[in-house]
Amino acid sequence: MTEPESATPRRRPGGRTARKREMVIDAAMSLLVEVTYEDLTVDAVADRAGVHRATVYRRWGDVGGLIADVFETASDDEWAPADTGSLFGDLVSINREVFDALEVESSLTRTLISASFHWDQAANALRSFWRDRYRRCEVVVDRAVVRGEVPTGTNANRVVVTATAPIYHRLVLLREPPDPAVVEDAARDAVAAARAQVLSG
């Protein structure tokens, strides 16, 4: 679910401006996994990208603006949750992605979460990014309703948040050592909750 994990360059259409944006965002992403967001500077990003510093200041303003654009770039993809044939399988697959994105202390995802506590612009971008990702995840519940696995009227957002929240909570807030058991445990709990009742809208 957490696509910003990938720091590999993407090919995207567009002319020189688009290529320049791509170079700068790729530079910001690769620097973010090397240094903390507090050590990230516009100058370092410009130098890494090989573009004029003035260009970066003009377009992105500051590091908060750069980080916001990293989220926007990350949202601009075709990501969809895997279709494994069962609600439990689909949630496990989502949870595995979340876990992989969080288990490393220096991961881009963790860095971006930290940054969101520092810059309002990054916080807003993270909120939009997650809103979009959770919306895409809701299809796993729609499919489960069609299969008769869970009752009609099940609140898809609530099921997906119930499945993923314990992973974020344990790894990011409680800072527990990463235990992969949480991937299946949290998915199983969410399925049990969804089956036990109609979670109305």
Please report, as ranges, the residues that interact with its own copies according to CB under 8 A: 38, 113-114, 117-118, 123, 126-127, 130-131, 134, 158, 161-162, 164-166, 168-170, 172-176, 185-186, 188-190, 192-193, 195-197, 199
For helices 108-116 and 87-102, give the axis angle rounded to 10 degrees: 80
CB of 48 to its own copies, least distance (A): 24
Q: Which is nearer to its own copies, 25 or 167 (CB)?
A: 167
Coil, helix or strand at residue 102: helix
Q: Which is nearer to its own copies, 145 or 193 (CB)?
A: 193
- Among residues 106, 111, 44, the alpha carbon closest in space to that of 71 is found at 111
Phi, psi dihedral angles at 115 (to 5 degrees): -60, -30
| Residue 166 and residue 186 in contact, taking contact as beta carbons nearer than 8 Å | yes
CB of 130 to its own copies, least distance (A): 5
Q: Which is nearer to its own copies, 27 or 167 (CB)?
A: 167
Q: Which is nearer to its own copies, 21 or 170 (CB)?
A: 170
Cα-to-chain-centroid distance, residue 28: 16
CB of 69 to its own copies, least distance (A): 19
CB of 64 to its own copies, least distance (A): 13
Q: Which is nearer to its own copies, 83 or 120 (CB)?
A: 120
CA of 116: how far to CAs of 10, 122, 124, 163, 173, in Å? 24, 5, 8, 23, 14
CB of 77 to its own copies, least distance (A): 20
| Residue 79 and residue 136 in contact, taking contact as beta carbons nearer than 8 Å | yes
